[in-house]
Amino acid sequence: MDKKRVLVTGSNGMLGMDMVSFIGDLYDVYRTDLEEKKNFRHDGKRFSKCDITDGPTTIRMIKEAKPEVIIHTAAWTDVDGCELDQEKTMKINAEGTHNVALGAKEVNSILIYISSDFVFDGDKTSPYKEDDMPHPVNTYGLSKLKGETFIRKELDKYFIVRTSWLFGKYGKNFVDIVLDKAERKEELKIVVDQFGSPTYTLDLCNALIKLMAVPTEGHTAGGVYHFSNSGSCSWYKYAEEILRLGRKQDAKITPITSLELDRPATRPKVSILDIDKYAAFAGKTPRSWEAALEEYLLVDLKKEAKDHVQNFKK
């Protein structure tokens, strides 16, 4: 039986790299990004160089690959950078997503779009549900919301998966930043008044695989899902747990407010996602962010380093 063909955009990114590795043995995987990034886990996975802001090239690439599913992870995720260059942000995150949606429409693919908790303003005191009204407070969130709008306009078969506070082996993330600064004995000034839910890329990959397995006979499939690890915290509490698991409790960590940090982009105060819909679909609640973080720091990073050494010796 032929394997389902899956195209992963943004295959060099933190989520894209993990996604290709995660599904590599299960599906016929195609990768695409601006440049090919060598990774031994991606050996044998076909790659097409593509800039999603180039509409004709993107559509042509998708028509040539003929994927049954497109997992669209490509995005510019530097929230402050996005605020300082709004034109570039919209070109990549909104127009680029529109181009991918048009390509998916040409070949009747299911499109899985990775969106963000930042489509919400953070004024709600309880977790955000899928049908809550989006109201982004920064350019990044607005660009992701526009991407959602394009997908709804162009496609009948799609999943919009909003997630939050991603961490994983590939790409710089908050966990790496905290541990790097602690290692260099730098003071950590961490925001105490913003709340959300950390999400491990591997757990998100597993959720996406479950969604991909949904039968798609008929005209429509999918909808909007929220996914994160369960539980929530402030950035400060998150940093404390990172330092504890990383055995860096001697690091100097100081709580500060959002106003004290003074960054170009406003962040939502509370962007916790309600994951009940996904939990009902999957038949279980995702594990806690603390358990996921512990596995990431104490098991997966060590295994990744060992695997790279063994591969280098081959």
CB within 8 A of 45, min separation 6: which ones? 20, 24, 29, 30, 31
What positions carry a catalytic annotation?
A: 140
CB within 8 A of 236, min separation 6: which ones? 190, 191, 192, 253, 255
Per residue in 23-35, is it b (16+ CB within 10 Å) or e — as a string? Answer: bbeebbbbbbbee
